[in-house]
Amino acid sequence: MTDRLPGFATLAIHAGAQPDPTTGARSTPIYQTTSFVFNDADHAASLFGLQAFGNIYTRIGNPTNAVLEERVAALEGGTAALAVASGHAAQMVTFQALLQPGDEFIAARQAYGGTINQFTHTFKSFGWNVVWADADDIASFERAVTPRTKAIFIESIANPGGSITDIEAVAAVARKAGVPLIVDNTLASPYLIRPIDHGADIVLHSATKFLGGHGTSIAGIIVDAGTFDWSRDNKYPILSEPRPEYHGIKLQETFGNFAFAIACRVIGLRDLGPALSPFNAFMILTGIETLPLRVQRHSDNAKAVAEFLSTHPAVAAVNYSGLSSSRYYNLARKYAPKGAGAVFTFSLKGGYDAGVNLVSNLKLFSHLANVGDTRSLVIHPASTTHSQLDDAAKTKAGAGPDIVRVSIGIEDKEDIIADLDQALRG
Ligand SMILES: *Cc1c(COP(=O)(O)O)cnc(C)c1O
Protein backbone atom coordinates (compact mmCIF):
# COMPACT_ATOMS: atom_id res chain seq x y z
CA MET A 1 0.00 0.00 0.00
CA THR A 2 1.10 3.55 -0.66
CA ASP A 3 0.14 6.78 1.10
CA ARG A 4 -1.64 7.98 -2.01
CA LEU A 5 -5.17 9.24 -1.42
CA PRO A 6 -7.49 7.14 -3.58
CA GLY A 7 -8.72 8.79 -6.75
CA PHE A 8 -12.32 9.29 -7.79
CA ALA A 9 -12.66 6.06 -9.83
CA THR A 10 -11.21 4.03 -6.94
CA LEU A 11 -13.59 5.63 -4.44
CA ALA A 12 -16.53 5.01 -6.80
CA ILE A 13 -15.84 1.27 -6.47
CA HIS A 14 -14.47 0.91 -2.94
CA ALA A 15 -15.56 3.77 -0.64
CA GLY A 16 -17.66 2.51 2.26
CA ALA A 17 -17.44 -1.15 1.25
CA GLN A 18 -15.51 -4.11 2.60
CA PRO A 19 -15.95 -7.86 2.26
CA ASP A 20 -18.91 -8.95 4.37
CA PRO A 21 -17.43 -9.91 7.79
CA THR A 22 -19.68 -12.97 8.15
CA THR A 23 -19.70 -14.50 4.68
CA GLY A 24 -16.80 -12.86 2.84
CA ALA A 25 -19.21 -11.67 0.13
CA ARG A 26 -17.28 -9.17 -2.00
CA SER A 27 -20.26 -7.23 -3.36
CA THR A 28 -22.22 -5.35 -0.72
CA PRO A 29 -25.05 -7.69 0.37
CA ILE A 30 -28.66 -6.52 0.25
CA TYR A 31 -29.58 -6.57 3.95
CA GLN A 32 -33.25 -7.11 3.24
CA THR A 33 -34.43 -6.96 6.84
CA THR A 34 -36.65 -4.52 8.67
CA SER A 35 -34.92 -4.85 12.03
CA PHE A 36 -31.75 -5.87 13.87
CA VAL A 37 -31.33 -7.90 17.07
CA PHE A 38 -29.85 -6.02 20.06
CA ASN A 39 -26.94 -7.55 22.02
CA ASP A 40 -28.74 -6.90 25.31
CA ALA A 41 -31.04 -4.40 27.00
CA ASP A 42 -28.26 -1.85 27.64
CA HIS A 43 -27.22 -1.97 24.00
CA ALA A 44 -30.83 -1.38 22.92
CA ALA A 45 -31.16 1.58 25.29
CA SER A 46 -27.92 3.17 24.12
CA LEU A 47 -28.94 2.85 20.45
CA PHE A 48 -32.31 4.44 21.12
CA GLY A 49 -30.69 7.25 23.13
CA LEU A 50 -28.13 8.03 20.36
CA GLN A 51 -25.31 7.10 22.75
CA ALA A 52 -24.07 4.43 20.35
CA PHE A 53 -24.18 3.98 16.58
CA GLY A 54 -25.79 0.85 15.25
CA ASN A 55 -28.71 -0.69 13.45
CA ILE A 56 -32.20 -0.58 14.91
CA TYR A 57 -34.83 -0.51 12.18
CA THR A 58 -34.48 0.04 8.42
CA ARG A 59 -36.64 3.17 8.39
CA ILE A 60 -33.76 4.88 10.23
CA GLY A 61 -30.76 3.02 8.81
CA ASN A 62 -29.64 -0.15 7.08
CA PRO A 63 -26.15 -1.60 6.40
CA THR A 64 -26.61 -1.65 2.59
CA ASN A 65 -27.81 1.95 2.65
CA ALA A 66 -24.87 2.85 4.93
CA VAL A 67 -22.37 1.76 2.25
CA LEU A 68 -24.18 3.96 -0.27
CA GLU A 69 -24.14 6.87 2.18
CA GLU A 70 -20.43 6.53 2.88
CA ARG A 71 -19.62 6.19 -0.81
CA VAL A 72 -21.50 9.31 -1.93
CA ALA A 73 -20.11 11.32 1.02
CA ALA A 74 -16.60 10.31 -0.13
CA LEU A 75 -17.26 11.17 -3.77
CA GLU A 76 -18.73 14.58 -2.87
CA GLY A 77 -16.11 15.37 -0.22
CA GLY A 78 -18.68 15.58 2.60
CA THR A 79 -18.49 14.37 6.20
CA ALA A 80 -21.60 12.14 6.07
CA ALA A 81 -24.66 11.42 3.97
CA LEU A 82 -28.17 10.06 4.27
CA ALA A 83 -29.90 7.92 1.65
CA VAL A 84 -33.66 8.39 1.27
CA ALA A 85 -36.42 7.10 -0.99
CA SER A 86 -36.21 9.74 -3.76
CA GLY A 87 -34.69 13.03 -4.77
CA HIS A 88 -37.84 14.79 -3.65
CA ALA A 89 -37.66 13.07 -0.27
CA ALA A 90 -34.08 14.38 0.04
CA GLN A 91 -35.40 17.91 -0.48
CA MET A 92 -38.27 17.44 1.97
CA VAL A 93 -36.07 15.97 4.73
CA THR A 94 -33.41 18.66 4.21
CA PHE A 95 -35.82 21.58 4.47
CA GLN A 96 -37.66 20.01 7.40
CA ALA A 97 -34.42 20.13 9.40
CA LEU A 98 -33.90 23.81 8.57
CA LEU A 99 -37.26 25.56 8.47
CA GLN A 100 -39.97 26.42 10.96
CA PRO A 101 -43.43 27.46 9.73
CA GLY A 102 -43.25 31.04 8.45
CA ASP A 103 -39.59 30.77 7.42
CA GLU A 104 -38.32 31.53 3.93
CA PHE A 105 -35.74 30.06 1.60
CA ILE A 106 -34.40 31.39 -1.69
CA ALA A 107 -34.33 29.10 -4.73
CA ALA A 108 -33.09 29.57 -8.27
CA ARG A 109 -36.04 29.35 -10.61
CA GLN A 110 -33.84 27.46 -13.10
CA ALA A 111 -34.90 24.17 -11.56
CA TYR A 112 -36.44 20.78 -12.23
CA GLY A 113 -40.21 21.16 -12.82
CA GLY A 114 -41.08 18.81 -9.97
CA THR A 115 -38.95 20.91 -7.62
CA ILE A 116 -40.76 24.10 -8.65
CA ASN A 117 -44.03 22.31 -7.92
CA GLN A 118 -42.88 20.90 -4.56
CA PHE A 119 -41.55 24.26 -3.38
CA THR A 120 -44.48 26.34 -4.66
CA HIS A 121 -47.40 24.26 -3.44
CA THR A 122 -46.59 21.48 -0.97
CA PHE A 123 -43.83 23.30 0.93
CA LYS A 124 -46.11 26.33 1.12
CA SER A 125 -48.71 24.17 2.86
CA PHE A 126 -46.07 23.47 5.57
CA GLY A 127 -45.53 27.23 6.00
CA TRP A 128 -42.12 27.06 4.22
CA ASN A 129 -42.06 30.00 1.84
CA VAL A 130 -39.97 29.90 -1.32
CA VAL A 131 -38.65 33.17 -2.74
CA TRP A 132 -37.47 32.74 -6.35
CA ALA A 133 -34.21 34.17 -7.64
CA ASP A 134 -32.56 34.12 -11.06
CA ALA A 135 -29.45 31.91 -11.28
CA ASP A 136 -28.12 34.20 -14.03
CA ASP A 137 -28.40 37.28 -11.80
CA ILE A 138 -26.48 36.85 -8.53
CA ALA A 139 -27.81 40.18 -7.20
CA SER A 140 -31.32 38.70 -7.29
CA PHE A 141 -30.27 36.31 -4.48
CA GLU A 142 -28.93 39.21 -2.43
CA ARG A 143 -32.11 41.21 -2.90
CA ALA A 144 -34.21 38.23 -1.77
CA VAL A 145 -32.51 37.86 1.64
CA THR A 146 -34.69 38.78 4.67
CA PRO A 147 -34.37 38.04 8.41
CA ARG A 148 -36.57 34.95 7.82
CA THR A 149 -34.28 33.48 5.14
CA LYS A 150 -32.94 30.10 6.31
CA ALA A 151 -31.30 28.64 3.19
CA ILE A 152 -30.42 29.16 -0.47
CA PHE A 153 -31.07 26.40 -3.01
CA ILE A 154 -29.59 26.06 -6.51
CA GLU A 155 -28.94 23.34 -9.07
CA SER A 156 -25.28 23.02 -10.19
CA ILE A 157 -26.39 22.20 -13.75
CA ALA A 158 -30.04 23.17 -14.04
CA ASN A 159 -32.70 20.77 -15.31
CA PRO A 160 -33.94 21.11 -18.05
CA GLY A 161 -31.98 24.08 -19.45
CA GLY A 162 -28.52 22.64 -18.78
CA SER A 163 -27.30 26.06 -17.59
CA ILE A 164 -24.34 26.20 -15.17
CA THR A 165 -24.77 28.11 -11.91
CA ASP A 166 -21.94 30.23 -10.51
CA ILE A 167 -21.81 28.24 -7.26
CA GLU A 168 -19.03 30.32 -5.66
CA ALA A 169 -20.91 33.58 -6.24
CA VAL A 170 -24.11 32.21 -4.69
CA ALA A 171 -22.08 30.67 -1.83
CA ALA A 172 -20.73 34.15 -1.06
CA VAL A 173 -24.29 35.50 -0.80
CA ALA A 174 -25.24 32.61 1.51
CA ARG A 175 -22.21 33.17 3.74
CA LYS A 176 -23.00 36.87 4.04
CA ALA A 177 -26.62 36.06 4.92
CA GLY A 178 -25.47 33.45 7.47
CA VAL A 179 -27.45 30.64 5.84
CA PRO A 180 -26.40 27.33 4.26
CA LEU A 181 -26.08 26.87 0.50
CA ILE A 182 -27.89 23.75 -0.72
CA VAL A 183 -26.85 22.49 -4.15
CA ASP A 184 -28.83 19.91 -6.11
CA ASN A 185 -25.98 18.15 -7.94
CA THR A 186 -28.15 15.61 -9.76
CA LEU A 187 -27.32 16.58 -13.34
CA ALA A 188 -23.58 17.04 -12.82
CA SER A 189 -22.87 14.14 -10.45
CA PRO A 190 -19.72 14.50 -8.35
CA TYR A 191 -17.71 13.29 -11.34
CA LEU A 192 -18.28 16.58 -13.18
CA ILE A 193 -18.79 19.04 -10.29
CA ARG A 194 -18.12 18.79 -6.54
CA PRO A 195 -20.17 21.69 -5.10
CA ILE A 196 -18.58 21.40 -1.63
CA ASP A 197 -15.23 22.42 -3.18
CA HIS A 198 -16.98 25.64 -4.25
CA GLY A 199 -18.70 26.52 -0.96
CA ALA A 200 -21.83 24.34 -0.75
CA ASP A 201 -22.90 23.30 2.76
CA ILE A 202 -25.38 20.61 1.72
CA VAL A 203 -25.45 18.62 -1.54
CA LEU A 204 -28.56 16.78 -2.72
CA HIS A 205 -29.06 14.12 -5.36
CA SER A 206 -31.82 12.46 -7.17
CA ALA A 207 -29.77 9.23 -7.26
CA THR A 208 -32.48 8.03 -9.64
CA LYS A 209 -30.51 9.76 -12.39
CA PHE A 210 -26.75 9.53 -13.02
CA LEU A 211 -25.68 7.92 -9.72
CA GLY A 212 -27.88 4.89 -10.40
CA GLY A 213 -27.48 5.54 -14.08
CA HIS A 214 -29.55 2.74 -15.58
CA GLY A 215 -33.10 3.98 -15.15
CA THR A 216 -34.01 1.19 -12.72
CA SER A 217 -34.44 2.67 -9.23
CA ILE A 218 -35.72 5.79 -7.48
CA ALA A 219 -33.47 7.11 -4.68
CA GLY A 220 -32.21 10.32 -3.10
CA ILE A 221 -29.12 11.38 -1.13
CA ILE A 222 -28.38 14.23 1.27
CA VAL A 223 -24.67 15.03 1.78
CA ASP A 224 -23.50 17.07 4.78
CA ALA A 225 -20.39 19.13 3.97
CA GLY A 226 -19.74 19.62 7.69
CA THR A 227 -19.04 23.30 7.04
CA PHE A 228 -21.96 25.12 8.63
CA ASP A 229 -22.21 26.30 12.24
CA TRP A 230 -25.81 25.47 13.14
CA SER A 231 -25.75 26.90 16.64
CA ARG A 232 -25.19 30.51 15.60
CA ASP A 233 -28.15 32.77 16.56
CA ASN A 234 -30.33 29.72 17.32
CA LYS A 235 -31.68 30.01 13.78
CA TYR A 236 -31.90 26.23 13.41
CA PRO A 237 -33.57 25.00 16.61
CA ILE A 238 -33.74 21.35 15.48
CA LEU A 239 -29.94 21.34 15.44
CA SER A 240 -29.18 23.67 18.33
CA GLU A 241 -31.88 23.07 20.96
CA PRO A 242 -32.13 20.10 23.37
CA ARG A 243 -34.04 17.15 21.90
CA PRO A 244 -36.54 15.88 24.47
CA GLU A 245 -36.79 12.41 22.87
CA TYR A 246 -33.00 11.95 23.06
CA HIS A 247 -32.42 12.81 26.76
CA GLY A 248 -32.05 16.52 25.98
CA ILE A 249 -28.93 16.25 23.80
CA LYS A 250 -28.21 19.05 21.32
CA LEU A 251 -27.46 17.59 17.89
CA GLN A 252 -24.89 20.19 16.80
CA GLU A 253 -23.08 20.02 20.13
CA THR A 254 -23.02 16.21 20.18
CA PHE A 255 -22.34 15.41 16.51
CA GLY A 256 -20.29 18.43 15.37
CA ASN A 257 -19.45 18.42 11.69
CA PHE A 258 -21.93 15.70 10.75
CA ALA A 259 -24.84 17.01 12.88
CA PHE A 260 -26.91 17.91 9.84
CA ALA A 261 -26.81 14.36 8.44
CA ILE A 262 -27.72 13.03 11.90
CA ALA A 263 -30.62 15.49 12.23
CA CYS A 264 -31.98 14.41 8.85
CA ARG A 265 -31.78 10.76 9.92
CA VAL A 266 -32.96 10.80 13.53
CA ILE A 267 -35.67 13.45 13.12
CA GLY A 268 -36.71 13.80 9.45
CA LEU A 269 -36.30 10.23 8.23
CA ARG A 270 -37.56 8.82 11.53
CA ASP A 271 -40.74 10.93 11.57
CA LEU A 272 -41.52 11.61 7.90
CA GLY A 273 -40.54 8.07 6.92
CA PRO A 274 -39.22 8.11 3.31
CA ALA A 275 -36.76 5.23 3.82
CA LEU A 276 -34.82 3.82 0.86
CA SER A 277 -35.26 0.12 0.20
CA PRO A 278 -31.93 -1.74 0.62
CA PHE A 279 -32.54 -3.33 -2.78
CA ASN A 280 -32.62 0.11 -4.40
CA ALA A 281 -29.53 1.12 -2.42
CA PHE A 282 -27.77 -1.92 -3.94
CA MET A 283 -28.85 -0.89 -7.44
CA ILE A 284 -27.54 2.65 -6.95
CA LEU A 285 -24.27 1.37 -5.45
CA THR A 286 -23.72 -0.89 -8.45
CA GLY A 287 -24.42 2.04 -10.77
CA ILE A 288 -21.91 4.26 -8.96
CA GLU A 289 -19.09 1.79 -9.64
CA THR A 290 -19.11 2.89 -13.31
CA LEU A 291 -20.07 6.54 -12.70
CA PRO A 292 -16.81 8.07 -14.00
CA LEU A 293 -16.87 5.97 -17.20
CA ARG A 294 -20.53 6.57 -17.90
CA VAL A 295 -20.63 10.29 -17.19
CA GLN A 296 -17.53 10.95 -19.29
CA ARG A 297 -19.12 9.07 -22.19
CA HIS A 298 -22.50 10.81 -21.64
CA SER A 299 -20.76 14.21 -21.77
CA ASP A 300 -18.61 13.39 -24.81
CA ASN A 301 -21.65 12.08 -26.70
CA ALA A 302 -23.74 15.11 -25.66
CA LYS A 303 -21.09 17.48 -26.97
CA ALA A 304 -20.98 15.67 -30.33
CA VAL A 305 -24.79 15.71 -30.58
CA ALA A 306 -24.96 19.40 -29.59
CA GLU A 307 -22.39 20.23 -32.29
CA PHE A 308 -24.40 18.28 -34.88
CA LEU A 309 -27.66 20.02 -33.91
CA SER A 310 -26.10 23.49 -33.90
CA THR A 311 -25.33 23.22 -37.62
CA HIS A 312 -28.65 21.60 -38.57
CA PRO A 313 -30.96 23.78 -40.72
CA ALA A 314 -34.12 22.77 -38.80
CA VAL A 315 -32.66 23.81 -35.43
CA ALA A 316 -33.14 27.37 -34.17
CA ALA A 317 -30.85 27.21 -31.13
CA VAL A 318 -28.92 24.69 -29.01
CA ASN A 319 -28.50 25.43 -25.32
CA TYR A 320 -25.53 23.31 -24.32
CA SER A 321 -23.04 24.82 -21.90
CA GLY A 322 -20.23 22.79 -23.45
CA LEU A 323 -20.49 24.70 -26.76
CA SER A 324 -18.29 27.79 -27.10
CA SER A 325 -21.35 29.67 -28.37
CA SER A 326 -23.14 29.16 -25.02
CA ARG A 327 -23.42 32.04 -22.54
CA TYR A 328 -22.48 29.43 -19.88
CA TYR A 329 -19.32 28.29 -21.66
CA ASN A 330 -16.92 30.06 -19.28
CA LEU A 331 -18.82 28.81 -16.22
CA ALA A 332 -18.73 25.30 -17.71
CA ARG A 333 -14.97 25.52 -18.23
CA LYS A 334 -14.52 26.66 -14.62
CA TYR A 335 -16.93 24.29 -12.83
CA ALA A 336 -17.16 21.31 -15.20
CA PRO A 337 -13.92 21.10 -17.15
CA LYS A 338 -14.36 17.37 -17.92
CA GLY A 339 -17.66 17.98 -19.71
CA ALA A 340 -20.96 19.79 -19.38
CA GLY A 341 -23.14 16.74 -18.79
CA ALA A 342 -25.70 14.85 -20.85
CA VAL A 343 -28.83 16.96 -20.49
CA PHE A 344 -29.59 19.98 -22.65
CA THR A 345 -32.33 21.62 -24.63
CA PHE A 346 -32.70 22.90 -28.15
CA SER A 347 -35.43 24.69 -30.03
CA LEU A 348 -36.73 24.02 -33.52
CA LYS A 349 -37.48 26.60 -36.18
CA GLY A 350 -40.86 24.91 -36.65
CA GLY A 351 -41.81 25.71 -33.01
CA TYR A 352 -44.21 23.62 -30.92
CA ASP A 353 -45.44 21.40 -33.79
CA ALA A 354 -41.93 20.59 -34.97
CA GLY A 355 -41.03 19.64 -31.39
CA VAL A 356 -43.97 17.28 -31.13
CA ASN A 357 -43.12 15.78 -34.57
CA LEU A 358 -39.51 15.25 -33.64
CA VAL A 359 -40.44 13.41 -30.46
CA SER A 360 -42.78 11.12 -32.42
CA ASN A 361 -40.28 10.43 -35.25
CA LEU A 362 -37.33 9.42 -33.07
CA LYS A 363 -36.68 5.66 -32.90
CA LEU A 364 -33.55 5.09 -30.81
CA PHE A 365 -34.49 7.80 -28.30
CA SER A 366 -37.12 6.89 -25.71
CA HIS A 367 -39.84 9.47 -25.12
CA LEU A 368 -40.15 9.58 -21.34
CA ALA A 369 -39.80 11.68 -18.18
CA ASN A 370 -36.34 10.83 -16.91
CA VAL A 371 -32.70 11.77 -17.39
CA GLY A 372 -29.44 9.99 -16.67
CA ASP A 373 -30.33 6.59 -18.11
CA THR A 374 -27.75 4.71 -20.24
CA ARG A 375 -30.28 5.18 -23.06
CA SER A 376 -30.84 8.41 -25.00
CA LEU A 377 -34.05 10.07 -23.81
CA VAL A 378 -36.18 12.88 -25.15
CA ILE A 379 -39.11 14.89 -23.82
CA HIS A 380 -41.08 18.01 -24.63
CA PRO A 381 -41.05 19.74 -21.20
CA ALA A 382 -43.81 22.26 -21.99
CA SER A 383 -46.40 19.50 -22.35
CA THR A 384 -45.04 17.20 -19.59
CA THR A 385 -42.60 17.97 -16.73
CA HIS A 386 -43.27 21.72 -16.83
CA SER A 387 -46.92 21.59 -17.98
CA GLN A 388 -48.15 22.90 -14.61
CA LEU A 389 -46.34 26.24 -15.13
CA ASP A 390 -47.73 29.18 -17.10
CA ASP A 391 -45.93 30.20 -20.32
CA ALA A 392 -43.83 32.91 -18.67
CA ALA A 393 -42.66 30.58 -15.89
CA LYS A 394 -41.97 27.83 -18.46
CA THR A 395 -39.72 30.15 -20.44
CA LYS A 396 -37.95 31.34 -17.29
CA ALA A 397 -37.32 27.73 -16.26
CA GLY A 398 -35.84 27.00 -19.72
CA ALA A 399 -38.89 25.01 -20.87
CA GLY A 400 -40.66 27.24 -23.41
CA PRO A 401 -43.22 25.70 -25.83
CA ASP A 402 -40.67 25.27 -28.67
CA ILE A 403 -38.06 23.55 -26.47
CA VAL A 404 -37.07 19.87 -26.63
CA ARG A 405 -34.99 18.33 -23.83
CA VAL A 406 -32.61 15.45 -24.43
CA SER A 407 -30.58 13.29 -22.08
CA ILE A 408 -27.89 11.82 -24.29
CA GLY A 409 -27.11 8.17 -23.57
CA ILE A 410 -23.95 6.12 -23.90
CA GLU A 411 -24.84 4.38 -27.17
CA ASP A 412 -22.57 4.95 -30.23
CA LYS A 413 -22.76 8.66 -30.92
CA GLU A 414 -23.08 8.00 -34.67
CA ASP A 415 -26.33 6.10 -34.02
CA ILE A 416 -27.71 8.87 -31.81
CA ILE A 417 -26.92 11.50 -34.42
CA ALA A 418 -28.37 9.38 -37.26
CA ASP A 419 -31.62 8.98 -35.33
CA LEU A 420 -31.94 12.74 -34.79
CA ASP A 421 -31.07 13.36 -38.43
CA GLN A 422 -33.82 11.06 -39.76
CA ALA A 423 -36.35 12.43 -37.24
CA LEU A 424 -35.60 16.05 -38.16
CA ARG A 425 -36.08 15.19 -41.84
CA GLY A 426 -39.31 13.33 -41.02
C1 LIG B 1 -35.39 14.03 -10.90
C2 LIG B 1 -34.90 15.21 -10.18
C3 LIG B 1 -35.34 15.47 -8.87
C4 LIG B 1 -36.35 14.62 -8.15
O5 LIG B 1 -35.83 13.34 -7.92
P6 LIG B 1 -36.73 12.01 -7.75
O7 LIG B 1 -35.71 10.96 -7.49
O8 LIG B 1 -37.47 11.84 -9.04
O9 LIG B 1 -37.64 12.28 -6.60
C10 LIG B 1 -34.80 16.58 -8.23
N11 LIG B 1 -33.91 17.39 -8.84
C12 LIG B 1 -33.49 17.16 -10.10
C13 LIG B 1 -32.49 18.08 -10.71
C14 LIG B 1 -33.96 16.07 -10.81
O15 LIG B 1 -33.53 15.85 -12.07
Looking at residue 387, what is its pLDDT? 78
The pLDDT tens digits of the residues spanning 31-65 come to 999 999 999 999 999 999 999 999 999 999 999 99
How many Cβ atoms from other residues are within 10 Å of residue 125's Cβ?
A: 7
**Same domain flag for 237 and 345:** no
Report the run of H or E that residue 425 belongs to, with start and end. Answer: helix 413-425
Domain co-membership, 266 together with 298: no
CB 409 within 8 A of CB 377: yes
Pocket around ligand 1: residues whose beta carbon is below 6 Å from it? 86-88, 112, 114-115, 155, 159, 184, 186-187, 206, 208-209, 218, 220, 371
pLDDT of residue 113: 87
Question: Which of 287, 321, 350 is at the close of a domain?
Answer: 287
Same domain, 216 and 201: yes
Residue located nearest, by CA, to atom 6 of ligand 1:
87
Report residue 1's pLDDT band, with 50, 70 and 90 as the boundaries.
low
Same domain? For 190 and 74 the reply is: yes
CATH, residue 316: 3.90.1150.10
Residue 28 in any domain: the answer is: no
Locate the ligand 1 atom nearest the alpha carbon of residue 90 and give its number: 9
Range of the structural domain that residue 312 is part of: 291-425
Specify the pLDDT at position 145: 98
Q: 330 and 413 share a domain?
A: yes
**pLDDT digit string (tens) for 163-216?**
999 999 999 999 999 999 999 999 999 999 999 999 999 999 999 999 999 999
R_g over Cα of the chain: 22
Residue 200 CA to ligand 1 centre (angstroms): 18
Ligand 1 geometric centre to CA of 369 (Å): 11
Residues 348, 261 share a domain: no
In DSSP notation, 152-215 reads EEEESB-TTT-PBP-HHHHHHHHHHHT--EEEE-TTTHHHH--GGGGT-SEEEEETTTTTT-SS
Does one domain contain both 279 and 305?
no
- Determine the residue of 184, 185, 186 to mutate for testing ligand 1's pocket, defined as the one with the most ligand atoms within 8 A of the Cβ atom: 186
Are residue 308 and residue 219 in the same domain, yes or no? no
Element (H, E) at 129: strand 129-133
Q: In this predicted structure, which of 3-7, 253-257, 279-283, 329-333 has the lowest mean pLDDT? A: 3-7
As a whole number, the mean pLDDT across the chain is 95
Mean pLDDT of 123-146: 98
- Is there a domain that residue 225 lies in? yes
Q: What is the pLDDT of residues 142-175, one digit of tens each?
A: 999 999 999 999 999 998 888 999 999 999 999 9
Residues 169 and 193 both lie in one domain: yes
Atom of ligand 1 minimally distant from the CA of 89: 9
Cα(94) to centroid(ligand 1), Å: 14
- Report how far ligand 1's centroid is from the alpha carbon of 87 (Å): 5
Which positions ≥6 away from 119 have C-beta within 8 Å? 107, 111, 130
Closest residue by Cα to atom 1, ligand 1, is 206
pLDDT at 179: 98
Residues paired with 83 in a beta bridge: 221
CB-based burial label for 42 (10 Å; 0-12, 13-18, 19+): exposed
Alpha-carbon gap, residue 407 to 102, rounded angstroms: 38
Ligand 1 centroid to residue 420 C-alpha, Å: 26
The residue out of 256, 287, 318 marking a domain boundary is 287
Asked whether residue 13 is assigned to any structural domain, the reply reads no
Within a domain: 364: yes
65-118 confidence digits (pLDDT tens): 999 999 999 999 999 999 999 999 999 999 999 999 999 999 999 999 899 999
Cα 169 off chain centre by: 20
Same domain, 137 and 184: yes
Task: Report pLDDT for 394.
Answer: 80
* Number of folded domains that form the chain: 2
pTM, to two decimals? 0.96
- Residue 288 Cα to ligand 1 middle (Å): 17
Whether 234 and 145 share a structural domain: yes
Q: Is residue 14 part of a domain?
A: no
Q: What is the pLDDT of residues 365-418, one digit of tens each?
A: 999 989 999 999 999 888 787 777 788 888 877 778 889 999 999 999 999 999
Domain end among 229, 257, 287: 287
Q: CATH number of the domain at 164, please.
A: 3.40.640.10
Note whether 315 and 396 are same-domain residues.
Answer: yes
Kindly state whether residue 16 falls inside one of the protein's structural domains: no
The reply to whether 4 falls in a domain is: no
Report which of 34, 5, 7, 78 is spatially closest to residue 277, judged by C-alpha positions: 34
Whether 2 has a pLDDT exceeding 80, the answer reads no
Q: How far is the CA of 232 from the centre of ligand 1 (A)?
A: 31
50 part of a folded domain? yes
Residue nearest to atom 4 of ligand 1 (CA): 87
Ligand 1 atom with the smallest distance to the CA of 187 is: 13
